[in-house]
Amino acid sequence: MTPHRPHIDRGGPSVQTARPGDWVENATGLGDIAPDAYRMEIPTSRYIAPEFVAQERDSIWNKVWQVVGRVDELTKAGDWKQYQIFDQSYLIVRGKDTRLRGFVNACRHRGNVLCRESRGNAKRGFLCQYHLWSYDLDGRLKGMLREALAGPIDKDTHGLIEVAVDTFAGFIFLNPDPDAAPLADFIGEEVATMLAPYHLDQMVTVMDVTEAIDCNWKVVLDAFQEGYHIDGIHPQLLRVINIDPATSRYRFFEQHSVSMAPFDVVGATPEQQVDGIMDLPETFPSTVAVIPRFQELVAEYRGADGTLNFPDGITARTLMQRATRDTLTNMGLDVSGLTDAQMSDNHGWVWFPNFFMTIRAGEAHIIMSLPHPDGNPNRCIWHVASYMWLPDEAKAAFTAEPIVVDEPGSFKYFEALQQDYEQMPRQQIGLRNTALKHMALVKEEVVIAHFHSVVDKYLAAAADS
């Protein structure tokens, strides 16, 4: 798509035509959701029972599209990375024809694992170190040790076992199910349209951290699907985020969802609003670039005596929106497809089964969690990453290499994320009490309820098959 020059109204909020982000104007509010729309009592057994782990493995993880990385991790022919779910290992590799493919990480001879590292480059193909069978980047069996004496081995039918791989919004997806429907069907056209103006595929990775954590993978997903815990866990955010549930908006799809709460504090004085915005870099580091323009705009409303007065229609939130649009546009980035609200407000996306993302103009942050490879329901692997949309000349300076944390607690996350990191294992300890049979969700946690309704659908489908 050819980019066009965005309109900037430096005298006030931009005049906008209909955009995908306008969905919030007529979206579902809490009052629109029937009390019996979703099951609000979630069995605790699905967080602690080994037998439920086995059910999830068969009904969900072996059947569903799941994010395994970013496209820009594999740029050169032969670049590969390993993806593991439970004890199943897969290789995603960039072919000589530039296509991404996925394979079972096992030699077709005697099953020896081909790659033990997490990533690498195999521009000459894959070589099994056991008996020196070799494979091309497209998975074809290329050579065998003493091939003339190998007997009736058909090389055409003994290539690596391929698994479905596709891409969306700069992410690589893999599905172990040989009968998987296309990724486009799984994502859905409406979801793709809503996310397109953010240009996720052009963002670069500025943080990428993986480590094991002592809680079930669904505890991680649940924690980021509601704002009900902000008062208790993130009190510092109350200065900048309006958590009035009446203003939250939701969109539920068959498997996914998106929710939004205005990035605002209703009832605060102008000075309090501005102070809250100025504190944002402590929790949202990417806002550093926007603060100078924000301060310029604020100064226009400050009197000679230093008093700050906002006229009707002007708040720190609207000034933050103008500052963000101005800053990104001056970087040469086309944000014309995003609404003013998307300049400030994070939209929280859930892609089933294990992907949560907050996204606003110019940046996105993801939380993913996987069952622990050893199958212990009380542990999981969590992966946090941040992405920024930057001019080409700035990308290299901000791109971060992946970090794998081996010593628990040794990596310090930014403030709000650190608070979640410390909270989630505490919940798992409580869930392990056998007398506690279910969690009781409140209506503000409807996204969690929707997520578990999708879990239920996958379990039911497996039971019926």
Count Cβ atoms below 10 Å from residue 38 Cβ, excluding itself: 21
What local confidence, expressed as pLDDT, does residue 242 receive? 65
Q: Which domains does the chain have, with CATH numbers?
A: 19-64+194-464 (3.90.380.10), 66-185 (2.102.10.10)
Q: SS3 of 100, please? A: strand
Q: How confident is the model at residue 177 (pLDDT cuts 50, 70, 90)?
A: very high
Nearest to 223 by CA among 422, 395, 394: 422
User: Which pairing describes strands 88-94 and 79-85: parallel, antiparallel, or unpaired?
Assistant: antiparallel
| DSSP characters over 287-340 | GGGTHHHHHHHHHTTB-TTS-B-PPTT--HHHHHHHHHHHHHHHTT---TTS-S
What local confidence, expressed as pLDDT, does residue 9 receive? 35
Report yes or no: 343 and 324 within 8 Å, Cβ to Cβ: yes
**Gap between the Cα atoms of 16 and 338, Å rounded:** 9
Whether pLDDT at 329 is above 70: yes
pLDDT digits (tens, 9 = 90+) for 16-65: 568 999 999 999 999 999 999 999 999 999 999 999 999 999 999 999 99
Question: Can you read off the two tokens belonging to residue 204?
Answer: 């670069």
What local confidence, expressed as pLDDT, does residue 111 receive? 97
Whether pLDDT at 8 is above 50: no
**Gap between the Cα atoms of 134 and 128, Å rounded:** 6
**Residue 415: what are its φ and ψ, rounded to 5°?**
-50, -55
Question: How far is residue 371 from each of residues 55, 105, 215, 383, 424, measured CA to CA in Å?
Answer: 12, 19, 10, 12, 15
What local confidence, expressed as pLDDT, does residue 17 receive? 67
Whether pLDDT at 452 is above 50: yes
**Gap between the Cα atoms of 202 and 302, Å rounded:** 38
% of residues, the chain, pLDDT over 90: 84
What local confidence, expressed as pLDDT, does residue 82 receive? 98
Tell me the mean pLDDT in the region 186-209.
Answer: 97
Half-sphere exposure (CA, 13 Å, Cβ side) for 455? 24
Tell me the mean pLDDT in the region 359-386.
Answer: 97
Whether pLDDT at 109 is above 80: yes
**Prediction pTM value:** 0.93
Q: How confident is the model at residue 148 (pLDDT cuts 50, 70, 90)?
A: confident
pLDDT digits (tens, 9 = 90+) for 203-221: 999 999 999 999 999 999 9
Report yes or no: 459 and 59 within 8 Å, Cβ to Cβ: yes
Q: How confident is the model at residue 254 (pLDDT cuts 50, 70, 90)?
A: very high
What local confidence, expressed as pLDDT, does residue 265 receive? 74
Report yes or no: 353 and 66 within 8 Å, Cβ to Cβ: yes
Whether pLDDT at 68 is above 50: yes
Report yes or no: 219 and 427 within 8 Å, Cβ to Cβ: yes
Question: Can you read off the two tokens belonging to residue 28?
Answer: 């579902």
